[in-house]
Amino acid sequence: MAKTEVILTHNIVGLGGESDQVKVAAGYARNFLYPQGLAIPLTGANKRRLEVLKQRRAEREAHDLNTMTELAKSLAKLICVVTVKTGEDGKMFGTVTPGMIADQLKTQFDVSLDKRKVHLEHPIRVLGEHDVELRLHADVVTKLKVRVESSTPLPAPEPAPAAAPKKEEQKTEKRGRRTEGGEKAGKAEGDKPHGDRGHRPHRSERPARGGERPPRSDKAPKAEKTGKTQKAE
């Protein structure tokens, strides 16, 4: 396949930046690069444009560096949530990919980021928070916090039934109550003097108010009822 040397006028990922001189297939240059204005043939006349292209490239790279630096500061403060499907045991189906993270950045924060700039050292296979490295620029690398959540939340654990008290503890508690009741009763009886227990003075022994009362005279015998007298007659 014939090759031809061209001067790139725009940055082409995987091929080079503006002002770079590269060799490509002649058909690729003729059918794509030249019509799209992405490259020009390497000729004596076109070489004079190299300085202009180099200056434009330096300005573009400086702008990209500033833009990615500011973007890195913003992304470091965000938490990107990725929702995945899980089983009943909470295990994920599959893994979280760089494309999924890039899509969620676009959906949640309107940040357009090439998925190739999302670098995963190890596949994400578990729920929770993970720190993901973003290689935004050759001189700009930052961390993005990614929270992986399940679309099917796990069922809440049922509360354990309260354990019934053991028989020995119940018996001990009943004995303690009986003993406590007996001690209270004993204390109540012990407070009374033994000589006065159950003894009440007779009315004749009580002192009269305001001085001594004269003894009561014997009452006259009651007369028998009239009815009884008439029967006897």
End-to-end CA distance of the chain: 170
CATH code 3.40.5.10 region(s) in the chain: 3-48
Q: What are phi and psi of 76, to 5 degrees?
A: -65, -20
Q: Where are the beta strands (DSSP E) in 90-127?
A: 118-119
Structural class in CATH, domain 72-150? alpha beta
212: left (phi > 0), else alpha (psi -120 to 50), else beta?
beta
CATH code 3.10.430.100 region(s) in the chain: 72-150
Average pLDDT score, the chain: 78
Q: What is the pLDDT of residue 124?
A: 93
Answer yes or no: is pLDDT of 10 > 70: yes
Q: pLDDT tens for residues 136-177? A: 998 999 999 999 999 876 555 566 666 555 555 555 555 656
Q: What is the pLDDT of residue 73?
A: 95
DSSP bridge partners of 4: 24
CATH superfamily for 3-48 is Ribosomal protein L9, N-terminal domain (3.40.5.10)
**CA 181, 186, 188: angle at the middle one, nearest 5?**
95
User: Has this prediction a pTM greater than 0.75?
Assistant: no
**CA 167, 172, 177: angle at the middle one, nearest 5?**
125
Mean pLDDT, residues 209-220 taken together:
51
Under the banding of pLDDT at 50, 70 and 90, the label for residue 100 is: very high
DSSP bridge partners of 58: none
Judge contact between 23 and 3, C-beta under 8 A: yes
Torsion of CA 85, 89, 95, 101, to 10 degrees: 50
